C-alpha cells in the first residue's frame, strides 16, 4: 500500500515514529509535514532523535490563526494527495494538521485512518476538541487508545471500524527507555539536577497561555513552590511570558524545549510532573511519576481514576498544596495497552480497511483531474 502520514506538531512526530518503524519495509510510507511546528526544537530534533525518515513533502505552512493555518494546509495537502494517489491517509491526534489532513483526504474519497481516535474532553472551547470530533466523524478506520475512547465514539453513533489498539506513545516510550538506560544521567548533569529532587513543568494549552490571568496564576504557583522546577518552555508560552514581563523565581529553570530522549530522561527522574500536556500525563503514569494536570478536564481519565494524576486547574493554592502533598497509591495498573499498539494499527490497516472499489477509484481519479 501507499500510505501518506500527515504530521505537523511535536506530539505527532512522536506518534508517527511508532507507526513509521512498523510500516517500513511492508508498505510505502510518505511522511507529509505541514510545517505547523518548525523551530528545530519543536520539529527537526524529533526527526533526528527518533530516527524518523525525512518528510517527502514539507508544506511550510507555519503559524497563524486557526482559519488561516487549517485553510492553507487543506489546499496544500490536497495538492500532494492528488499528485501521490495514496491508498490511505494516516492522521494523528487532534491538531489543526489532523483536521486539515482528514478533511482533504475524505473529500478526495481517500480512506482516513485516525490514530488516537475517540478522545474527548467534552469542552468545545478547546480547539483540539473540535479537531477530534470532526476528524473522527470523517475517519474510515478509528484506532482508539482506551475503552473510554471507544465508548465516547459509540455515544456519538460511531461504531463502524472502531478498534481498541492501545496507545502508540507507549511503544515509543518503551523504545526510548531502552535507549537512554545507559546515559540517563547526562541530561540531569546538563541542567544541574539531582534525581527525584526536582519537578518537571510544561505549559502550552491555549486556555492557559492566551489567558494571561490563568498563566500568571500558574507561574505564581511555580514561584511559591520551594523546590527546583525545570520548565522546558513551549514557544507559545515563551512569547506570552516575554511580552508580559512575567517573572519566575530563581528555583525555576527555564530551558528551551528538549528532544524526546532528553524529555524522557527528565521526566523519569522527576519527583512530580506539572503539566497541561496530553502526552506527558500518560508518560508520567507509565514511568511512575505523580502528575498534576493544570486543566479542568482530561481526556486521560484513567490516570486520574488510578490516583496518579490530579486535576488542579490554574488555582495557585491548589497547585502549591498538591505539589506538596499529592501521593498516589502503590498500585499502578497497566493502562493504554501493552506497548505493541503500532503492530495492531498496521494489522488493521492491512486487514480492517476495505480497499477502494472500482466505482470509488473512478470517482477518485475524476477528482484528481
Query: Among 131, 149, 269, which residue's Cα sits nearest to residue 200?
Result: 269
Contact 36, 10 (CB under 8 A): no
Tell me the C-alpha to C-alpha distance, in Å, between residue 92 and each of 7, 44, 138, 323: 7, 18, 13, 32
- Using CB distances below 5 to 8 A depending on partner kind, what does residue 260 bind out of ligand UD1, ligand UDP, none? ligand UDP
Active site residue 204: yes
Contact 3, 87 (CB under 8 A): yes
Written as nine digits, the cell of 179 is 535507549
Among 22, 114, 120, 204, binds ligand UDP (CB under 6 A): 204
Choose between 228 and 303: whose C-beta lies nearer to ligand UD1: 303
The interface region with ligand UD1, picked from 135-143, 186-194, 215-223, 232-240 by CB under 6 A, is: 232-240
- Using CB distances below 5 to 8 A depending on partner kind, what does residue 283 bind out of ligand UD1, ligand UDP, none? ligand UDP
Q: What are phi and psi of 122, to 5 degrees?
A: 60, 30
Q: Is 339 helix (H, G, I), strand (E, B) or coil?
A: coil
Residues 6 or more apart in contact with residue 354 via CB below 8 angstroms: none
The interface region with ligand UDP, picked from 135-143, 274-282, 297-305, 354-362 by CB under 6 A, is: 274-282
Binding of ligand UD1 by 96 (CB under 6 A): yes
Binding of ligand UD1 by 42 (CB under 6 A): yes
Size of the site for ligand UD1 (CB under 6 A): 18
Q: Least CB distance from residue 279 to ligand UDP, whole Å?
A: 3
Q: Least CB distance from residue 40 to ligand UDP, whole Å?
A: 12
Residues 244-273 that bind ligand UDP (CB under 6 A): 257-258, 260, 263
Contact 198, 268 (CB under 8 A): no
Contact 329, 87 (CB under 8 A): no
CA dihedral of residues 52, 101, 39, 56 (deg, nearest 10): 40
Among 20, 106, 146, 202, binds ligand UDP (CB under 6 A): 202
Residues 211-240 that bind ligand UDP (CB under 6 A): 232
Binding of ligand UDP by 55 (CB under 6 A): no
Contact 306, 285 (CB under 8 A): yes
Tell me which residue has cell 502533598: 325
Among 128, 136, 140, 171, binds ligand UD1 (CB under 6 A): 128
Q: What are phi and psi of 336, to 5 degrees?
A: 65, 40
Binding of ligand UD1 by 235 (CB under 6 A): yes
What is the x/- site pattern for ligand UD1, positions 157-196, by CB under 6 A? ----------------------------------------
Binding of ligand UDP by 346 (CB under 6 A): no
Active-site residue (options: 33, 114, 204, 234): 204
- Using CB distances below 5 to 8 A depending on partner kind, what does residue 202 bind out of ligand UD1, ligand UDP, none? ligand UDP
Tell me which residue has cell 515509543: 172
Q: Least CB distance from residue 204 to ligand UDP, whole Å?
A: 6
Work out the end-to-end distance of the chain between its first and last CA atoms, rounded to an integer number of angstroms.
Answer: 22
Q: What's the CA angle centered on 186, arms 181 and 188, to 5 degrees?
A: 105
Binding of ligand UD1 by 129 (CB under 6 A): no
Instruction: Tell the burial category of 155 from Cβ atoms under 10 Å away from its Cβ (0-12, 13-18, 19+).
Output: exposed
How far is residue 130's CA from residue 205's CA, in Å, rounded to a whole number?
14
- Using CB distances below 5 to 8 A depending on partner kind, what does residue 208 bind out of ligand UDP, ligand UD1, none? none
Binding of ligand UDP by 11 (CB under 6 A): yes
Residue 41 per-residue DSSP state: G
Binding site residues, ligand UD1, CB under 6 A:
9-11, 36-39, 42, 63, 94-96, 127-128, 204, 235-236, 239
Query: Catalytic site residues?
Result: 204
Binding site residues, ligand UDP, CB under 6 A:
10-11, 14, 202, 204, 232, 257-258, 260, 263, 277-280, 283
Amino acid at each position: 500500500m501507499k500510505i501518506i502520514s500527515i504530521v505537523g506538531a511535536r506530539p505527532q512526530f512522536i506518534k508517527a515514529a511508532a507507526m513509521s518503524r512498523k510500516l517500513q519495509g511492508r508498505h510505502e510510507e510518505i511522511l507529509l509535514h505541514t510545517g505547523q511546528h518548525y523551530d528545530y526544537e519543536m520539529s527537526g530534533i524529533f526527526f533526528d532523535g527518533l530516527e524518523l525518515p525525512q518528510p517527502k513533502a514539507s508544506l511550510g505552512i507555519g503559524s497563524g490563526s486557526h482559519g488561516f493555518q487549517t485553510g492553507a494546509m487543506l489546499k496544500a495537502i490536497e495538492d500532494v494527495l492528488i499528485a501521490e494517489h495514496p491508498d490511505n491517509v494516516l492522521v494523528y491526534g487532534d491538531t489543526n494538521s489532523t483536521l486539515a489532513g482528514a478533511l482533504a483526504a475524505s473529500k478526495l474519497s481517500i480512506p482516513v485512518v485516525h490514530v488516537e481516535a475517540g478522545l474527548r474532553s467534552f469542552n468545545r472551547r478547546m480547539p483540539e476538541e473540535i479537531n477530534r470530533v470532526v476528524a473522527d466523524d470523517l475517519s474510515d478506520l478509528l484506532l482508539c487508545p482506551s475503552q473510554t475512547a471507544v465508548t465516547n465514539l459509540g455515544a456519538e453513533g460511531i461504531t463502524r471500524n472502531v478498534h481498541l489498539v492501545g496507545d502508540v506513545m507507549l511503544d515509543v516510550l518503551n523504545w526510548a527507555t531502552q535507549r537512554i538506560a545507559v546515559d540517563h544521567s547526562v541530561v540531569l548533569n546538563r541542567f544541574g539536577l539531582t534525581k527525584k529532587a526536582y519537578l518537571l513543568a510544561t505549559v502550552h494549552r491555549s486556555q492557559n497561555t492566551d489567558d494571561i490571568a490563568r498563566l500568571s496564576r500558574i507561574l505564581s504557583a511555580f514561584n511559591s513552590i520551594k523546590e527546583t522546577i525545570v520548565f522546558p518552555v513551549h514557544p507559545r508560552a515563551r512569547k506570552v511570558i516575554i511580552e508580559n514581563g512575567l517573572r519566575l523565581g530563581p528555583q525555576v529553570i527555564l530551558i528551551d524545549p528538549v528532544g524526546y530522549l532528553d524529555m524522557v530522561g527528565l521526566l523519569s527522574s522527576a519527583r512530580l510532573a506539572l503539566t497541561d500536556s496530553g502526552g506527558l500525563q500518560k508518560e508520567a503514569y507509565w514511568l511512575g511519576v505523580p502528575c498534576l494536570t493544570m486543566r479542568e478536564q482530561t481526556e486521560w481519565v484513567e490516570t486520574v481514576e488510578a490516583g496518579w494524576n490530579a486535576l488542579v486547574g490554574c488555582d495557585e493554592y491548589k497547585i502549591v498544596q498538591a505539589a506538596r502533598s499529592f501521593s498516589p497509591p502503590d498500585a499502578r495498573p497497566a493502562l493504554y495497552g501493552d506497548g505493541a499498539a503500532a503492530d495492531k494499527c498496521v494489522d488493521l490497516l492491512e486487514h480492517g480497511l476495505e480497499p477502494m472499489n472500482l466505482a470509488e477509484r473512478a470517482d477518485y481519479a475524476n477528482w484528481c483531474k
